[in-house]
């Protein structure tokens, strides 16, 4: 492990449980196809980007939730809503952020995101 990877693992614990952090490394569904992808996500996304100063975990989580929704990335939407809840976002904050997206990305994407959210209101 290098410094970026270690920093990434420490940072991700603000968004997932310790068990989930360990599982991200050990139960990588894409390890056979792209063995370095998980390492890249932990080092770059969490070790370099999420660990930057200037925003707290809740704000970062809300930004990422809206970003994956605008991309139409359904599996990642559910994942990042769960991480946002773990980081301290409330259901109301998430729902209001999603509703704020309607004029920019449209009803279908927001409705899909809200449907994913309604299936996991407290813990995903």
Indicate the pLDDT class of residue 119, thresholds 50, 70 and 90: confident
Q: Could you tell me if 65 and 113 lie in one domain?
A: yes
Whole-number percent of the chain with pLDDT over 90: 67
Mean pLDDT of the chain: 90
Domain carrying residue 19: 1-53
Q: Are residues 39 and 93 in the same domain?
A: no
Checking if the pLDDT of 121 tops 60, the result is no
Q: If you average pLDDT over residues 30-56, what whole number do you get?
A: 91
Answer whether residue 123 shows pLDDT above 60: no
Q: What is the mean pLDDT of residues 54-74?
A: 95
Q: Are residues 82 and 40 in the same domain?
A: no
Separation CA 106–CA 75 (nearest Å):
19
pTM of the entire predicted model: 0.85
């Amino acid at each position: 492990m290098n410094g970026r990877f270690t920093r990434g693992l420490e940072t991700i614990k603000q968004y997932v449980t310790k068990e989930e952090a360990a599982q991200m490394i050990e139960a990588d569904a894409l390890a056979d196809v792209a063995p370095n992808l998980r390492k890249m996500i932990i080092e770059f996304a969490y070790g370099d980007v999420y660990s930057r100063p200037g925003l707290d975990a809740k704000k970062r989580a809300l930004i990422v939730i809206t970003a994956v929704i605008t991309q139409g990335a359904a599996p990642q939407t559910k994942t990042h809503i769960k991480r946002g809840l773990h980081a301290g976002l409330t259901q109301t904050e998430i729902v209001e952020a999603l509703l704020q997206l309607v004029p920019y990305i449209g009803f279908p994407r927001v409705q899909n995101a809200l449907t994913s959210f309604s299936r996991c209101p407290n813990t995903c």
